Each structure stands twice: as C-alpha cells, then as structure tokens.
Chains A and B, each alone.
Chain A
Amino acid sequence: MRSEILYPGAFPMVRVELASGEHIKAESGAMVGSSPTVDVESKMEGGFLGALSRKLLTGEKFFFQTLRASRGDGEVLLAPTVPGEIVILELDGVNEYMVQKDGFLAGADSIVIESKMQSLSRGLLGGEGFFILKIGGKGTLVLNSFGAIHKIELKPDQEYIVDNSHLVAWSATTSYNIEKAASGWVASFTSGEGLVCRFRGPGVVYIQSRNPGSFGAWIRQFIPVSE
C-alpha cells in the first residue's frame, strides 16, 4: 500500500494505491471512489455485536470496511466526514498509539486495532468515553482530525496539558492524568467538561485544532427546536 494526501488542508483526501491482492481497513463511509478492481467487504469485525459495541462505546463508525484489490492493481480515495487534516503514520512494530473516537480513517491490513477499556476514572472524567482504540503492529496508519492536526513532541518527563476534547492520538509511552480545569468535582463527574489531560513524555501527542463538542453546541443554537 502506498498512500498520498491530496489537497492538504481543511478538505483533504487520501489516495491509497493497492497492489493486486492487497487490502486495507478503512472506516466505513470513508470511501469516496475506487478503481473497479477494488472490492468492498463490509466485514463486521468482531461480528455484528462487536461492531455495535464499538460504535456505541467509542463513537467509532459501525464497521470497518475491508477494501481489497481483488482483480488487479488499483487505488482508492478516502476522505473523513468532518473538515480537517489527515496525517499518515508509519508504525514500526514497537510504537503503539492510543486513538480516540473518530480519529481512525484507514490502515494497512497489518496494523492491529483493539478496543481498550480505560480505567474508570479516565473514562468517566476524561469525557472521551471508556473505550479508545489501541493501534499497533507494523504498517501505515491514517488518522484524521477535526480542524488542523498539531503534533506535540515530548521529551522524557516533559509535561504538557491538553484539553481532552482536542485529543486525537498519543503514543503509549506517554502517561497522563486527568485534572479538572475549574468548577466542582461533581459537575465534572457527570458532564465531563472542564477537564484537561496532563501528559508526560516521552512520546508524541496529536491534537486537533477544533473541539467537536463545542462546535456541535455552537451549531445547535441555529437549529430550530421542534418539540
């Protein structure tokens, strides 16, 4: 698989070239177009209920699709749902990334994706859900963000504080604590708002320049309410 970002910026698309027989995993609904040699297998990884749980628990789309160049070489075009940047990472087999919610766009078949349950406090307080994706293995991983992607590089023991709704992905070598930014504990307990993550290096943290939750709230005020 060879991949290339087209139209870098707010409305990018990824072109992935597949050799005959090669296949990739992609978020369902990410496919924009493909050569006629490419077949889509809407395989429900982990079965229907596994897919359902992934959707509901991580907010991830229902199914991963398998895109397979079954009848010769071909290419696919992939794009995320929301406006925002795409970043391509080459996983080397030792680096693992935690990826949250809608951050996963596509990946080589050789990458390993598992849903991981966070500790109760992180899940409850972090607002990003109890489940995040842990992605490892060796091969290409394509992530997408809402807004621009910003990479924060942390040296060993270097710290950085990030609003948790801006998180996209972070290396498994980092550790983090959830801290409340302000207001009372009980409020944050239920709403998950006003919380920040204090990351500690070494490793890399990818953040997105826009907050999907706040954006949704902002949009909502323009939508007439019908009861």
Chain B
Amino acid sequence: MTQFSPNALCFGEEFPASGAPCVVQIERHGLTITFESGSGDRAQEMVPFAVFAVTAGGLDHDHLVLKWGEAQRARTLYLKNPDLIRAFREAAPDHLSQPFEQAAERVRQVRHRHRVMWGAVGGSIVAVALGLWFGSDLLVEMAVSRIPVEWEQKLGEAAYRDFLSHQEVMKEGPAVNAVEEMTQRLADQIPNSPYKFQVTVVKSDVVNAFALPGGYVVVFTGLMKKADSGEEVAGVLGHELNHVLQRHGLERIVKSMGVMAVVAIIVGDQQGLIGLMRQVGVELLTLKFDRAQETEADLTGLQLVYRAKIDPSGMITFFQKLSEKDEGRLEWLSTHPVSSARAERLKAELAALPKHSSEPFTFEWKTVQDALGVQPVAAP
C-alpha cells in the first residue's frame, strides 16, 4: 500500500473542526478525493466539476476553496498546493473558470483594499514627508537626529539584556579587564559623548563582536582567542564603537521603517515610534550595515584608535587575517565582508596620518589568552 500523503483538507459535519486530511486528484470530469480512516482503510469519492462553488479563503486568501452539497452533506475543501490549484484551473470547465477568476479578483480586491487603506494613511504622511524630501538619506538623517539618545538606549538595552540572559557572560578575569581597558582608552577620546559604552565579554567560540544602538557592545571570547594582540581587538572595538557613534543602527531602522517612522518622529508620537522600533526596527540589526556605513566605521574607527595612541597596525593586521578566508568559522565576516581592499584602504589612511608613538596596554596579551585557554602555537 502506498503512503498516504494528504494534499488538502476537507471540512464537513462529520469531520473534525481542523479538517480531514485527504488526497485530491484532478481528473477529467472532476476530483477524486481519498480519505484514510484511523485504521488505514481508504475511502474514495468522485466529485464532478459541475457541483462546485469556487472561492478563495484562508488567512492570506491563498487557499482555493471548493464547496458543494447541502445541509448535512455540505462539504468544503481547502486546497493550498499551488501545483494542485494550477491543475484544477486547467482541468476545470469554463463555467467554473469564471467564478475562479472572480475568486482571484476578490483576492486582489482584498489586497487592494488593504493597500488603499494604508495608502490613505501613508498618503497624508507622504504629503508631510515630501515637503522635506531632498533625498532619502537627508530625510533619514533628519529623522535620526530627532530621536533622543534615551530611546536609542532603551531599545539597545532591551536587546542587550535579552541577548545576555541567554549567554554565558564572563564577569571577571584578565580578558574582561583587558576589554575594559581598551574601551576606556577609546572612550576617553570621545569628548561629550552622549553614550556610556558597556562592553560585555561572552564565552563563545563565535569569532564576532557587535554593537547595539545606545552603546551596548558584545565581544565573544572566540574573537579574542583569534587575535594575536590587544591592539587587534581594540581595532574591532574602535570600528564597533563608531557604528554606535554614527548611529548606524538607527539609520538602518529608520530606513526600513520608512515613511511611517519618519512621520511618527515628526509628529512626536513617542509611544507609537517605540512600538514600531521594537517590532520592525530591530530587524535592522539583523541586516548588514551598508557599505558606506562600514567604510565610515572603518575610517572613524582607525582615527579613534590612532587618537587613543593604540597601535593602529593591529586593526589592519586583524582585518587582513580575517580576509584569509580559509580560517574556519569567522562570524564577523558574515556581517562584515572583509576584503583585502578594506585593509588596503586602512593602510592608505594610516599612511596619511602623521606618525606618532603608541602606548602599550597595561596588560600582557599572553596572560589574557592563557586565561582564555588558548594553546600556544608551536613555532613552525
């Protein structure tokens, strides 16, 4: 006996409310519907095209709904599979294709109504927005500049807490001290910063680090193990801190929320905006920053590292290391496509800066790595 693999649901008086799974086959003159009972017995029913009433239904109006029969014998069949629907459409006689088209039309109408409704809401908003329209980036920048840092912090903090509550956080030890020292050195070079940077070291082999809006930074121990010096990690931190300082996360959020957000910001609908940001906005953190933002974070990151008198060559060597792709799992790459061009650009930028001597960190990188359990690599 062949396996029973249902492709449709049949509803009716004697069937369960969730529908009876059945196999629908399209024949020349109608449908063959096969049911299987709990004991494995199969019952077949042939229903001619002539009796069907056709509509669209289901949550997204993407099910083809066929109705037939009266009263106790009334049946409703839900087809979802696109191939099956197509086959039905091809086989069904003309008198059904008309209601079929009507059903399709109704689907379009529903969608259209939704669109019109949001169009109307959006339209009035767009009218406001258009007045400000000198180019989308300018609009985004304007909107972003109106978002108070406290909102940004609220948003970032919520995400940060949620994230950390599921992670093994490293609370103390040489690695934490080292990261705190780096962050302090960098933050000291950002006078009047509205952000108080919080950096957490998370125990994980993931080679990654990220910054959430509002100044919440996470460094994974995997990244610290991969680095050959504190300066390399500081380079990544310099880059991530600049994503925060340049409000790249917010820019992405506002861009994706689009007009709705811009209007909410302009009319000062705080509650609505926070709701929107929580729901739509943070999806943006899942997207890559765009290339311009990455370049900006690279260059401003390099300058920050330089001002903090941290040897900037660490940042460059780390980027180079990451661009050697055969190094296994390097998650930073998935959010940061590292090309050798990127390292080259930093080199050129560094060459343009006046030479000055850098000051080492107070920690020994080897101590940090030993504490993380990095095995010393045997000399080749």
Contact = CB atoms under 8 A, between A and B. Distances in A.
Interface in A4-54: 28-29, 47-50, 52-53
Interface string B260-277: 000000000101100100
Interface stretch (A102-110, A151-159, A207-215): A151-159
B59 A175 contact: yes
Interface centre among A49, A55, A154, A189 (most CB of B within 10 A): A49
A150 interface: no
Contact of A52 (B18, B114, B159): B159
Nearest to B334: A47
A136 B74 CA distance: 27
Contacts of A55: 159, 162-163
A204 B17 contact: yes
Contacts of B61: 175
Contacts of A123: 279
Contacts of B163: 52, 55, 62
Chain A interface size, as a band, is 35 or more
A57 B283 contact: yes
B30 interface: no
Contact of B278 (A56, A120, A154, A175): A56
A73 to B, nearest CB: 26
Contact of A49 (B63, B162, B271, B286): B286
Given A56-B282, A190-B269, A62 B166 contact: yes
B17 A52 contact: no
B118 interface: yes
A203 B278 contact: no
Contacts of B89: none
Interface string B287-325: 100000000000000000000000000000000000000
A28 B58 CA distance: 31
Nearest to B15: A202
A129 B279 contact: yes
Interface string B114-131: 100110000000000000
Contacts of A119: 114
Interface stretch (B1-9, B193-201, B243-251): B1-9
Nearest to A151: B17
A161 to B, nearest CB: 17
B17 A154 contact: yes
A202 B17 contact: yes
Contacts of B19: 94-95, 171, 173, 202-203
Nearest to A158: B17
Interface in A94-129: 94-96, 98, 119-121, 123, 129
23 contacts: A49-B285, A49-B286, A49-B287, A52-B163, A56-B278, A57-B280, A92-B21, A95-B21, A98-B59, A120-B114, A120-B118, A131-B279, A153-B18, A156-B11, A170-B59, A172-B59, A172-B63, A172-B80, A173-B9, A173-B11, A175-B59, A175-B61, A203-B18
Given A61-B166, A175-B57, 7 more contacts: A55-B163, A56-B159, A56-B282, A94-B8, A95-B21, A172-B59, A174-B59
